[in-house]
Every structure is written in C-alpha cells, then in structure tokens.
A and B are shown apart, each in its own frame.
Chain A
Amino acid sequence: MNAASQKLEIPGTRVFDGELAQKGYALNKMCFSFNSAENREAFRQDEAGYCRQFGLNAEQYEAIRTRNVLGLLAAGGNVYYLAKFAGILGLDVQDLGAAQTGMSKDEFKAMLLAAGKGI
C-alpha cells in the first residue's frame, strides 16, 4: 500500500478528503460567503432562507440550526469555513474545542495550559 491510498484510523479525527468535500460543498460554500459582512447580516436576518439559497440538505440545515459542531463536521463541513459561521455566533476556536470535547471552555483552556507545563 502506498502513502496516497493509506487509510490511517486516528481517534476523534478525520481529514477533509474528496468524499467530505463533495458532501459538504453547499454547507462550505455558504460558510465561505460569510467572509462578507453583508452576507453575515443576511444570514442573521433569515437563517432558514439563507440556508435554502445555498441548497443545504436536511442534515446540514439541522446542524446549523442546532449549532452542532460535530454534526456540521459529519455533514461535510470544513473547519476553516465553519470558523466563519462560528464568527457570526461570536464563538472562537476554543469555544468550538469545548463543544466538540464535551468540556466547558474553562476546562478546555485548562487542558491546554496543562499541556504547556514543563515543556
């Protein structure tokens, strides 16, 4: 088996490959549009309408509606585009980390501080 075809199972981790890139295209395209302040405001005004405009499927819309980070990833979301959705909600990557690991944000930050002790 060569490196290109190797599938390595990494717990709690999935790389964003062609399969996810196809599955998540509409969701990621919507999140990419959030680079524009005008589009962020349009989403705030009418979330459901904005999602329809980009053709999100039911799984993607439900994950957006419920702010479900792991659900957004499973629906094909890429973290770099999802970060722009998180920006609308006023969340940073540590909020996302806490949401995905089931920790509070303080616990998540404490885990990282602990990782830096004694390095």
Chain B
Amino acid sequence: MAKIVGAITTSHVPAIGRAIAGKLQDDPYWKPFFDGFPPVHAWLDKVRPDVAVVLYNDHGLNFFLDKMPTFAVGAAPEYHNADEGWGIPTLPPFKGHPELSWHVINELVAREFDLTTCQEMLVDHAYSLPLKLLWPNDEKCPVPTVPVCINTVQYPLPSAKRCYKLGKALGEAIGSWDKDLRVLVIGTGGLSHQLDGERAGFVNPEFDKAFMDSLVSDPEWVTQFSNEQIVEKTGTQGVELLMWVAARAALPGRVGLVHSNYHIPISNTAAGLMVMEVAA
C-alpha cells in the first residue's frame, strides 16, 4: 500500500521566483529564508518520495471568476507553468501522475467531497516555487505531482474545518492506494500577510507561531475560527494557511516535527516552513 512519508508546508511568495532567478540566496535580505531549506533537502534525501500531492491556491492563472471551483484536483499527464503577467521566469513543466490523481478523485468523491477535475491545468507560482525550493538543483522537478487547488480568491472560501476534513480524506485516499509508493504531501501559502486594503503590510507573528505549534500537537485548533476571523488575525492572504491545515490533516495519527523555520519579511509576507513526519 502507498505510504505517506510526511508533509512539508511553505510560503510561496512570487518574489522567491525573482530571488531564485537572480541567485540571491546568500543576499542578506534573502538568506534567513533560504537557509531554512537545506535541512528539508536532507530529509527528502532520506525519505525519497516517489510522488508529491501539492495543496495550493491559484492566483488567477488557471481559474477566473467565470468558473471558480472550491476544490479542484488535477488529472493531467503534465502541468505547465505560464506567464502570470508580472515577469517571473516560468519553470519547466511538472510531470503528473494520472493514476494517483484518479484514485484520489474517486476516493474523495466517495467521501462526499464534490470536486472539480482538471485534465488540463496551468499551475502558478504557488505550485512551481515550492517545488523549486524543495529540489533546487534539479532542472525539472524530479517527482511526479498531483495538484489539489483550494479556492482562496472568491468568498465564501471553504472553512478551516472543511479543509481539515479534506486533508484527512486525502490522507485516507492516499493510504488506500494499492501501490507500494512513498507519497509526500505539500501545502503552500501563508503565513500572515495582507496585500490589499489600507491594512496592507499587516503580519502577526504571535498568531503564526501559535498556529505552527498547533499543527504538531493540536491540528484542529485553528478550525475553531471562521475565515473572516482568520483574515482578522493573519491578513487577507494569511488565510492561505488553509493549505497547511489540509496538508497536516493528511498525515495519519500523531506527527513529529522534523524541521521548521519562520522569518519576516519576504516581500510583504511572514514566511513559514515546516516538515512533519508521521510518528513511528
């Protein structure tokens, strides 16, 4: 049976793409952020995932307001990154895993999640940049991937409680896959930041840290909050922590924290990073 090796959660700010393209990893502004990743690379070398399921949110590359799915799962042989309008270099296509995609789709719908399925899907910086951060030395992402996109563009968004349940069902779906493969779950976005409105630039390290701690020991803690309460505490885009909630919930049982990093600021954002594995 398939086995989930663990979950990685990370921020996905577009400026990371500019920093990678400009080789700014050792620049004083960027170093505290990029220094978070070598322990992740060492862990990936150890656990050697065969495939990654990536929970992320689209920012107006693949989906527009004409059709806005709450949960969308990719089922394509390949996913292309593309021009998002503000000039970060695109990354090479990501290989898909249609067999796992359809298994996940079938199992999630059986568990009463009404999904949108996508046999063609462009993936934006929220997908491409975290994978590049995890495998910086590979020209192309070395593992096939399955995208799971959560709407954080147009309200109502799914609640933290619902995203927790999605992640739990996703974990069960992966665990029921009759293939002896090692699966990594990735959640991208957050942490606290606000791009729009007079409160732009808002960050909240106290809440972010409480949230990161809760993911290890009490992952349902954040499900007590409505999305508007999460926005109040973390900013308009801080609500992207929903992807972290779902990724953590995919891990069965108790987890151990392998590594974490937290740094303010990159661009307008409080950047968080966690690696969690299933407790033995």
Contacts and interface: CB of A to CB of B under 8 A. Distances in A.
A63 interface: no
B200 A97 contact: yes
B25 interface: no
Nearest to A39: B85
A48 interface: no
A78 B59 CA distance: 10
Interface residues of B, number: 46
A19 B31 CA distance: 42
B201 A111 contact: yes
Contacts of A17: 154-156
Contacts of B227: 15
B107 interface: no
A87 B85 CA distance: 6
A115 B265 contact: yes
A80 B57 CA distance: 11
Interface string B228-262: 11011001110000000000000000000000001
Contact of A112 (B59, B199, B268): B268
Contact of A113 (B82, B87, B205, B265): B265
Contacts of A113: 265
Given A21-B154, A84-B85, A100-B196, A93 B265 contact: no
Interface in B145-177: 153-156, 159
Contacts of B268: 93-94, 97, 112
Interface string A7-26: 11011111111100100010
Interface of A: 3-4, 6-8, 10-18, 21, 25, 28-29, 31-32, 34-37, 40, 70, 73, 78-84, 86-88, 92-94, 96-97, 100-101, 108-109, 111-113, 115-116, 119
